[in-house]
Amino acid sequence: MTGSVGRPHELEAIELLASLVGPGPEGEVWIGDDAAVLGPASAPVLFATDLAAEGVHFDRRHGTLADLGWRVLVQNLSDIAAMGGRPRAAVVAVAGAGFDELGLIYEGLLEASRRFGCPVVGGDLSDATALNISVAILGASAGTAPVLRSGAGPGETVFVTGPLGAASAGLRELRADPGARSACTAAFLRPVPRLGEGVAAALGGARAMIDVSDGFGIDLRRLAEASGVGVVLDELPVAPGATPDEALGGGEDYELVFTAPDPGAVAARFAESGLRAPVPVGTTTADVAEFLLRGVPLASTGYEHRLG
Amino acid sequence: MTGSVGRPHELEAIELLASLVGPGPEGEVWIGDDAAVLGPASAPVLFATDLAAEGVHFDRRHGTLADLGWRVLVQNLSDIAAMGGRPRAAVVAVAGAGFDELGLIYEGLLEASRRFGCPVVGGDLSDATALNISVAILGASAGTAPVLRSGAGPGETVFVTGPLGAASAGLRELRADPGARSACTAAFLRPVPRLGEGVAAALGGARAMIDVSDGFGIDLRRLAEASGVGVVLDELPVAPGATPDEALGGGEDYELVFTAPDPGAVAARFAESGLRAPVPVGTTTADVAEFLLRGVPLASTGYEHRLG
């Protein structure tokens, strides 16, 4: 292999693919959101894929292969959560795992599968020179239209489902000491997809939603750009043990960010569902150029390696 | 990476995964067929994944990246064809492709996507040290129950949708001369999924079906073992340019093999659909130990690298 999609080219690559594929028919969403939305509108189907490649998404010194199996399924579950949907089933393609390694990867995959109610129903196996795990996930609507990235209008409240930066802090701790164990290392090794929160947000009137997979700054900016709104943030909820930079730029938190016009309806839905209240962090504005945290322009830092 | 799933361990690995995952609820099929079948029974959903890894499934000297993109989508379409279903949509995860390479891969992918009516609706991109393309595909029933590998009974006619070995012969020609162009090289580089044939077989009463992805001998044996029947073959239709060994053991033909109790109904359905008649090659028997071609025990040669 020569060459690879480096970060500076990633958005270009996604634009290339989106232009090649085209937008899809009325009522469907193809490339460009957390998951594709397929018709019929009365019972939309959600469909997404996310891969983990050794040396890019994971390093065996920082977690077990069971942790890796868990993480790659959760990364896909989070794409369904970010649409306000429920997972239905997943398929898993593993290249480059030995027999024992495969057993370990599936141990974590199936723990997450049972915990979050998403059976692994098929897969493919192959030799390869490097370990690569690709998961595809199928989801269904939980009773509302799927919540896209593009639906926000000005004057809505911006919420996040929990404090940020724990996964990134956990990775920092593991890099310093592979034996470290803390709430932050758990957030990195065994993240939790916010499935109940995604449904509650949708039922509470969320107009736009995205998961924090690449970093809060960059993911929120994606939502704002897709919606054509600005964002003024008053708060940045930082997880205990994390730095503000990690909260802003660290990826893999898998919290959800969403906007909604009626904060009271959101609070009521989360309370009814017995979920921790989401944190209001700011407001959307009509000025698409505006992207501020406490009056200071916000860097859209984070990793750019996802297609949708 | 140390270790990988070698061929001797592949069936063991699939058994391990099937035992870990479990059989799924009544009416659903999880690991072990060409595609998983998800409920409801009134409108079953088909879901499958197949990957292509550089150095294992393809070699850049024998075809372009556009050919590769075409082949990996067709390999997935063939899984849907083998259930008697119709494709609905695919997602594609590409690891280790540079920007220009990605454009070439998508050129072939999208040609096949348009040709066979299966939009690519989402994906993921990543850096990686080797090129790996994983496709997942979603399909729907074409008006019959999905045709499994396990439904054959004794005394049924065994059909194949076309002569075999062309893809394998084409690869042999390309290895000898990368510039070779023939019907066989076309069969290898731009295979055609037998979607219409799969639906016609299902409507014509097929009881069991599988696609020839790893080799006729091994794929037919999988069908026989899943169904608990023996097979006595009178014919081996060999593609022009291919050897009998290539017809028996060569993979990637993507013809369908199926059994049906009423050859007349099968012939009528194929004729109504304007399709070339499938070739009757033999009969299923009650003796599961019987696996004969013109009275001689048949080697189940071919590649074992698929999970289902």
| Inter-chain touch A36–B89, beta carbons under 8 Å | yes
Same domain, A137 and A184: no
Residues in B closer than 8 angstroms to A57, CB to CB, are: 126
Residues forming beta bridges with residue B283, ordered by sequence position:
B157, B232
Regarding whether A285 and A178 lie in a shared domain, the answer is yes
Q: Find the domain containing B40 and state its range.
A: 7-141
Residues A198 and A133 in one domain: no
- Run of H or E including A20: helix A7-21
Q: For B107-127, what is the mean pLDDT?
A: 96
Q: Which of B47, B55, B97 has the CB atom closest to A122's CB atom?
A: B47
Domain count, chain A: 2
* Residue A41, in any domain of the structure: yes
CB atoms B13 and A102 under 8 Å: yes
Lowest mean pLDDT among A118-122, B9-13, B79-83: B9-13
Same-domain status, B74 and B131: yes
**Does A202 lie in the same domain as A87?**
no
* B261 within domain boundaries: yes
Are both A208 and A292 inside the same structural domain? yes
A85, part of any domain: yes
* CATH code assigned at B184: 3.90.650.10
A57 is a domain residue: yes
What is chain B's mean pLDDT, rounded? Answer: 92
Q: Where are the beta strands (DSSP E) in chain A?
A: 36-38, 45-53, 85-95, 120-126, 132-141, 157-160, 208-211, 230-233, 256-260, 279-285, 291-293, 296-297
Distance from the Cα of residue B244 to its chain's centroid: 20
Q: What CATH number has the domain bearing residue B21? A: 3.30.1330.10
- Decide if A29 is inside a domain: yes
Whether A308 and B123 lie within 8 Å, measured CB to CB: yes
Please indicate if any CB of chain B lies within 8 Å of the CB of A303.
no
Domain boundary among A141, A168, A195: A141
- Exposure letters A62-90 (e unless 16+ CB within 10 A, then b): bbebbbbbbbbbbbbbbbbbbbbbbbbbb
pLDDT for the residue numbered A303: 44
- Please check whether residue B182 lies inside any domain of the structure: yes
Q: Which residue has the higher pLDDT, B121 or B308?
A: B121
Give chain B positions within 8 Å (CB) of A14.
125
What tens digit of pLDDT does each residue of B146-170 get? 999 999 999 999 999 999 999 999 9
Q: What is the pLDDT of residue B56?
A: 84
Mean pLDDT of A101-109: 96
Q: Are residues B204 and B100 in the same domain?
A: no
Are A42 and B136 in contact by the 8 Å Cβ rule? The answer is no
Cα separation of A87 and A89, whole Å?
Answer: 6
B130 interfaces chain A, CB cutoff of 8 Å: yes
Same-domain check for residues B253 and B281: yes
Tell me the nearest-neighbour CA distance from B102 into chain A, angstroms: 8
Could you tell me if B95 lies within 8 Å of chain A, comparing CB atoms? yes
Dist CA B306 CA B308 (whole Å):
6
Q: Within a domain: residue A307? A: no
A91, A177: one domain: no
User: Residue B1: pLDDT above 60?
Assistant: no
A125 touches chain B (CB under 8 A): yes
Q: Is residue B149 part of a domain?
A: no
Radius of gyration of chain A (CA): 19
Residue that is last in its domain, among B111, B141, B171 = B141
DSSP string, B70-116: HHHHHHHHHHHHTTTEEEEEEEEEEES--HHHHHHHHHHHHHHHHHT
| Statement to judge: residues B186 and B293 lie in one domain | yes
Residue A305 CB-half CA count within 13 A: 24
Residue A66 forms contact with B (CB below 8 Å) = no
A49 touches chain B (CB under 8 A): yes
The CA-atom distances, in angstroms, between B183 and each of A93, B189, B195, B243, B275 are 31, 10, 20, 14, 19
Residues B17 and B47 in one domain: yes
Q: Which residues contact A137 (CB under 8 A, 6 or more apart)?
A: A35, A46, A47, A48, A49, A76, A77, A79, A80, A87, A88, A89, A90, A118
Please name the member of A57, A103, A123 whose beta carbon is closest to the beta carbon of B49.
Answer: A123
B115 shares a domain with B188: no
**Using an 8 Å Cβ cutoff, are A122 and A91 in contact?**
yes
Task: With a cut of 60, say whether residue B305 has pLDDT above it.
Answer: no
Q: Do B124 and A306 touch (CB under 8 A)?
A: yes
The single residue listed with the structure tokens 């944190």 is A279
Model confidence, pTM: 0.93
- Residue B126, chain A, CB below 8 Å: the answer is yes
* The last residue of a domain, from among A141, A166, A182: A141
